[in-house]
Amino acid sequence: MIFDPFPPFVPNGFQIKYAVDAWEKRGAAALRRQVFCEEQKIFSEDDRDAIDDIATPIVALSSLAIVHDVVVGTVRIHESAPGTWWGSRLAVAEPFRKVGALGPALIRLAVSSAHARGCQQFFAHVQSQNVPLFRRMRWRTLNEIEIHGFAHHLMEADLAYYPPFVSPEVGFVALRKAA
């Protein structure tokens, strides 16, 4: 094994917020293509669908000092019917998956911001390998299904665990978990 005196820099804090700037939205789309098309090969060229026309993208932003520099995580949310919300396309860039806080922070902002906008039920189709994370975050499985050839769980969030969050455009800071 070769010792690397300069391991990749991973910041300790990340801004979790609605994607409002064009570069944030482009970064979220690029990260989704990387994860769902190139890594997982669920989609051939692009994962964009009709939901993107109505969905709100949420991002996790890496920072250099106080300036955000890259989108390292994303999820999208949308209201399918009054009071019924869905989350989908949760993705974290590979070098940042061991941070441990990004997936949960994105989920928390997704559900809590929808809760502040009148959400009465929040659902997601969750890939089977991610079900333990969602269960720890107070989600329950309603059904097991296959989507695009991959095993998923239809899951519902316990809204009592997600207090309404009224300023998602500003968001909050998620800190890297200790190793």
Q: Does 1 fall in a domain?
A: no
Of 33, 75, 20, 78, the C-alpha closest to 53 is: 78
In a domain, 3, yes or no: no
Q: Are 46 and 53 spatial neighbours (Cβ–Cβ below 8 Å)?
A: no
pLDDT at 127: 97
For residue 88, give its domain range: 13-175
Which residues of the chain are under the pLDDT cut of 70?
Answer: 1-11, 64-68, 178-179
The pLDDT score that the predictor gives to residue 27 is 96
Asked whether residue 7 is domain-assigned, the answer is no
- Span 29-76, pLDDT tens digits: 999 999 999 999 999 989 999 999 999 999 999 876 566 678 999 999
- pLDDT on residue 10: 61
Q: Tell me whether residue 150 is in a domain.
A: yes
Domain count for the chain: 1
30: CATH:
3.40.630.30
Contact yes or no for 2/164 (Cβ under 8 A): no
Please tell me the predicted confidence (pLDDT) of residue 178. Answer: 56
Is position 2 within any domain? no
130 in a structural domain: yes
* Model confidence, pTM: 0.88
- 114 Cβ neighbours under 8 A, 6+ residues apart: 77, 79, 85, 87, 122
Q: What pLDDT was estimated at residue 56?
A: 97
Nearest Cα neighbor of 12 from 69, 64, 47 is 64
